[in-house]
Amino acid sequence: MKNISTICAVLLFAVYSGLSAQVSFGKPEKINEKWEFHLGDSLSEQTRWRTLNLPHDWSVEGALNPSLAACTGYLPGGIGWYRKSLDIPADKKGEKVFIYFEGVQNRSEVYLNGHLLGKRPNGYVSFLYDMTPYISFGGENVLTVRVDHSRYADSRWYNGSGIYRNVWLVFSNPVHIAQWGVYAQTKKATVNSAELAVETEIANETESPAAITVTNELFDAEGKKIASASQKISLKAKSANQKVEQTLKISRPSLWSLDSPALYTLKTTVAQNGIIIDETTTQTGIRTLAFSPDNGLALNGKYLKVKGLCIHHDAGVLGAAVPREIWERRLQTLKSLGCNAIRLTHNLHNPDVYDICDELGLLVMDEVFDEWEFPKRKWIEGWNIGNPGYDGGADYFNEWSGRDLGDGVRRDRNHPSVFAWSIGNEVDYPNDPYSHPILDSGGKGFTQAQFGGYKKDAPDANRLGGIAKRLVAVVKQFDRSRPVTAGLAGVAMSNETDYPYLLDIVGYNYTENRYEEDHNTYPERIIYGSENRHDMEAWKAVRDNQFIFGQFLWTGIDYLGESGVWPSRGFYSGLLDFAGFIKPRGNFRKALWSDEPTAYLGTYLPFGGFRRQMPSMDAWPVWNYEDGQTVKVVCYTNAPKAQLFLNNEPVGDVKNYDDNTGIILWDVPYKAGKLLVKGYDSAGKEICQTAIQTSEQPQKLALKAYQTEISSKRGVAQIEIQALDRNGVPAVLADNLLTCRIDGPGKLLGLEAGDNTDMGNYRDNSQRIFRGRMIAYVEAAGKPGEKFKVSFTSPWLEKAEIEIGIK
């Protein structure tokens, strides 16, 4: 049962370019403005429609309710309708007209002038419909979308409801580049030269053959053309998939890497009778990947450790409709902590995320499925509590999985950041739903108490191999440049099936104890941690084993859903909270992953229990206790040594870094003032320091705008609010109720403080800060040159305001 692609000692995968525009043909225009929406399934002449802009997620607008499902964050679903009038000019007759949705959550039906264009049950995939046969050229056309999320407890995490990504109207010549039809592969690349193989797929939707010329030109970051190729071909009538293959040779290319993510622009044009009839541009990066069962992953010939994080697709108060600016800030913050890779769990994500990762130099594992032919448990009363539900996507998996996966690969295969395709997450979780005799007491690596033993009536785990074989073939049909993988939850069980042997690289979820054993048992298997805890032992299993190429922590950012017992908005093991602020464990991870000298101080009171006998990675930067009280003080640092000072007086001796915990710990009798730590290199030279200070009652607010000028095209400003005492010291314990007011052409999208237990209204203009902080999201609603003012008030605090410009 060996995978033929892993027999060689090293797997070498080519690189592909990154698609800069979602629509790869014609003349696309975004049509997010002025849609009408109705929540409910009954429509009549008396139906009241609400005017809004897309993207839109109606679930996050609803009230949190303990009677709803914990798995989807105690938020509602339902059925909703959207509609929009489209004026298609008469002079467009003779052109093709398409509608493209980046994502509709979920079970959508799209109609034009009452004609059904198509249905798409998967809420994460992007899809395109041809509207041409039903268009009234020169007249009014009504586009209508029905979204059925009545099965609201259909996901193990929050998925949202509605048209929550962009929508594009596309006009094109009947002879045009196919959607996702440009495919560029770097056949070889060194610092001296590279060869880019470009495949262009052309559609001829006319009744006659067509003679065309396809040209591909490559431009560097300065706009200089560095390579080009042209080819004449004759297209058959009514043909959809004729391909043109060309090779571009590049001298001294700038390779895409984590530290220097160089990008090129590939311009593709189609000409007929000397006239350009279609064109598109593709953002391109050139790099190579190599995988070895003994040495792990090499990028451009250099081996590295993947320091990865899993992330879901929501952003707290914004739900699933997340503007690009929020993703930019979040991903930049994660990279600043030493992260170099993202696992997009457990579905295709917002296209903006891939573009940003291309630009920042973050590797991406693109994942498509969380369940296959049978549903998993969905927790209703709280995570792993009570009786689960079983709604999900299993009912359409057999019919749609091949198309969903294929479309996902075609959509994302051009991104240089994408380094692997994942076809499943924990689909092999023992007895959820598949089972195997190995689970009986005495089986390899299992006890009956863990999973309840073998369940004869459950689906046979041997079915996993057949499904995996089919899905792997789909990926390879559209991209052979990257490995196919999956995150295995029941490795010992799956080892008894064909499943792991069909994968190019094999992800282990929370099973670090099997790394060495399976490396020895399956020496040709390439192993990594696809989902891992935050503890030091899990990291050392990667750091200290050359054959393990990396890990992906669960999770990078707190997310809605998979909630505990009420009150709980979601899962909160992230390095960042719902607001995108760095949590203490984010600083702990920075000390493990970052190459820059760093130090962080946190404190907590000691109390019983085994877990609290170990130094905490969740210590907040607070220095407010009772005099004489013994306080645990922890330092997260990558310095070999550190010394603590209280009010400029040393606290004990210099302490060495503890490689067992990754934390330096002191027990300190509390005294108000300033607590400072200095980190030293092995020679005793100071390389970093940080301090925390006793704060008084909060008196004022400090505002920081991540964008002081935003686009008139609904750009979003992110304004951080920090409570301070009269001396300017952060008041970390503050929880004041703030009210936000906007004067001028701005629209408040939401206030997010990051408190997992606050189940109040997150869509109004009042919110309590949490741990002294909050963030406001404000959208531009004016013209270039205009400004608006955002102010915050609270009883006993000084008013704070900030001005945002529109460009």
Task: Report the catalytic residues.
Answer: 426, 531
Beta strands in 121-190 (DSSP E): 127-130, 140-149, 167-172, 175-189
Nearest-CA neighbor of 227 among 284, 275, 181? Answer: 284
Crossing angle for the helix pair 351-360 and 324-336, nearest 10 degrees?
Answer: 40
| Partners of residue 340 on adjacent β-strands | none
The dihedrals phi and psi of 126, each to the nearest 5 degrees, come to: -95, 150
Give the Å distances, CA to CA, from 776 to 60, 753, 798.
16, 9, 18
Instruction: Show the CA angle centred on residue 118, arms to residues 117 and 119, nearest 5°.
Output: 150
- 83 CB contacts (<8 Å, ≥6 apart)? 35, 36, 49, 142, 143, 144, 145
Distance of CA 673 to the CA centre of its chain: 41
Nearest-CA neighbor of 84 among 60, 104, 110? Answer: 110
Q: How far apart are CA 280 and CA 555, in angstroms?
A: 36
> In this structure, is the dihedral angle defined by the CA atoms of residues 318, 321, 325 and 326, taken in order, positive or negative?
positive
DSSP symbols for 455-473: -TTSPBTTHHHHHHHHHHH
Count other C-beta atoms under 10 Å from residue 611's C-beta: 7
Does a cis peptide bond (omega within 30 degrees of 0) precede residue 346?
yes
Q: How far apart are CA 141 and CA 84, in angstroms?
A: 8
> In this structure, is the dihedral angle defined by the CA atoms of residues 656, 657, 658 and 663, taken in order, positive or negative?
positive
Q: Which helix (H) or strand (E) holds 652?
A: strand 649-656
Q: How far apart are CA 117 and CA 112, in angstroms?
A: 7
HSE-CB of 415 using CA atoms within 13 angstroms: 29
Pairing of strands 550-553, 306-311: parallel
DSSP symbols for 425-444: ESTT-TTSS-B-GGGSTTST
